[in-house]
A and B are shown apart, each in its own frame.
Chain A
Amino acid sequence: GQNIDQPTEMTATEGAIVQINCTYQTSGFNGLFWYQQHAGEAPTFLSYNVLDGLEEKGRFSSFLSRSKGYSYLLLKELQMKDSASYLCAVRDRDYKLSFGAGTTVTVRA
């Protein structure tokens, strides 16, 4: 099984940068995903890492260190619409996803 930890809440100012950390313990690692979920809506796919390093996608970047069981999602140039919950999910060797409880990010003007 998986044990996935991420902070419950974070607050940041519009235009700033926020880093959401995710640590995991897994019996078989096969990739890490980040999803964004606005209140009352479905999760939407943001990024995927399977090898160590940084993946950049516009204002969002995701980093993975498999040896440390660690990932982070970096949100740059924060906008009000980025206020949402961010879910870290680890895929196991059977290709099933286990999700963290999510980090609620609040962007203030």
Chain B
Amino acid sequence: IAGITQAPTSQILAAGRRMTLRCTQDMRHNAMYWYRQDLGLGLRLIHYSNTAGTTGKGEVPDGYSVSRANTDDFPLTLASAVPSQTSVYFCASSEGENQPQHFGDGTRLSIL
């Protein structure tokens, strides 16, 4: 079934550890996005990529990095996790930057 796959589904992580959240899509969408969702704040854009080989910063990029080596994969890395990064992380993709975004099932991340 075509769609977006995120891994892991959930993770508990000690502060200071490095963590990579994986996102893969098989729809050949050009654009991909990472959001975090926190209670009362809604979805906030962390980083995005309009096409393979390019990335850009969103609203809350600090503490996160991304890469887009190919069309399908868009991993999000926390170099040194801090408790304020406890959140639900959603990856999304769209056929083009002006098309609706489709979301993965999310990763629940807790930093202790």
Interface residues of A (CB under 8 A from B): 1, 4, 30-31, 33, 41-45, 48, 87, 89, 91, 95-102
Report whether A97 and B97 are in contact in the complex, using a CB–CB cutoff of 8 Å. no
Known pairs A45-B101, A48-B100, A97-B33; list 9 more (Cβ under 8 Å). Answer: A31-B98, A42-B106, A43-B103, A44-B103, A89-B43, A95-B31, A96-B58, A98-B59, A99-B44
Closest 5 CB pairs of A and B: A95-B97, A42-B103, A99-B43, A101-B42, A99-B42
Q: Is the CB of A102 within 8 A of B105?
A: no
The residue in chain B whose Cβ has the minimal distance to the Cβ of A4 is B42
**Closest B residue by C-beta to A42:** B103
Closest chain A residue to B105, Cβ basis:
A42
Q: Decide if A97 touches B104 in the complex (CB within 8 Å).
A: no
Give the complex CA separation of A40 and B109 in angstroms. Answer: 13
Q: Which residue of B lies closest to A102 (CB)?
A: B42
* Residue contact B98 to A95, C-beta cutoff 8 Å: yes
| Interface flag for B74 (CB, 8 Å) | no
Q: Mark B86-112, 1 if CB is under 8 A from A, else 0.
A: 000010000001101111111000000
Q: Which residues of B contact A33 (CB under 8 A)?
A: 100-101
Q: How far is the CB of A96 from chain B (nearest CB, A)?
A: 6
Q: Which of A1, A31, A43, A44 contacts B43 (CB 8 A)?
A: A43
- A101, B40: Cβ atoms under 8 Å? yes
On chain B, the residues within 8 Å of A41 by CB distance are 105
Shortest beta-carbon distance, A49 to chain B, in Å? 12
Q: Looking across the interface, which residue of chain B has its beta carbon closest to that of A96?
A: B45
Nearest CB in chain B to that of A95: its residue? B97
